[in-house]
Amino acid sequence: MLSATKFTFDDLLSFDCSENYEDLDRDIKKGIDSGLHTIVSIKNEEKETIAIAGIFDLRPGVGEAWIIRGHKIDKYPYAFFKLIHSIIYKFVFPEMGYHRLQIAVMKNWRKWAETLGLDFECKLVAYDSDYNDYYQYSKVVI
């Protein structure tokens, strides 16, 4: 079983990031200090952080979701999907007051975004520092 808890910097001690980040601590701190991010840690039964997720407030009612995966996330594909689905539809829209949530995903995560009920919007060409293409998905609840 997975759980989502409010992020603390201690969560980084047990986090084995599957992606390359020059300074994950710095980037998360900037997000927290801006006051525009809501950040949670996704933890397994052993209380290890297996993912860090957040929402950046683009403007009132509109958020940009992001997820940083850890190496252990692949052990929990269904539980991770179910938890993220629950966060989006039981918390983000009804409790946080968003009417639009969007996320940019790499090609291998497109099916995951579609299964979450998000709608494809556009291809973002050379979207990261390595010139990888991403795909933007969103959900609008009116």
Torsion 102-104-107-109 (CA) sign: negative
Strand 100-105 and strand 49-59: pairing? Answer: unpaired
Q: Is 7 exposed, middle or buried (0-12, 13-18, 19+ CB in 10 A)?
A: buried
First to last CA, the chain: 32
Name the token pair of 78. 């269904």
Superfamily (CATH) of domain 3-103: Gcn5-related N-acetyltransferase (GNAT) (3.40.630.30)
What band does 36 get if pLDDT is binned at 50, 70 and 90?
Answer: low
- Model confidence pLDDT, tens digit, residues 96-112: 889 999 999 999 999 99
Specify the pLDDT at position 129: 83
* Tokens 């594909």 belong to residue: 77
- Residue pLDDT, tens place only, 87-97: 999 989 998 88
Return the SS3 of 133.
coil
Tell whether pTM > 0.75: yes
Q: Which residues pair with 123 in a beta bridge?
A: 135
Q: 117: which 2 tokens? A: 């009920």
Q: Give the DSSP H/E element, type plus range, for residue 116.
A: none
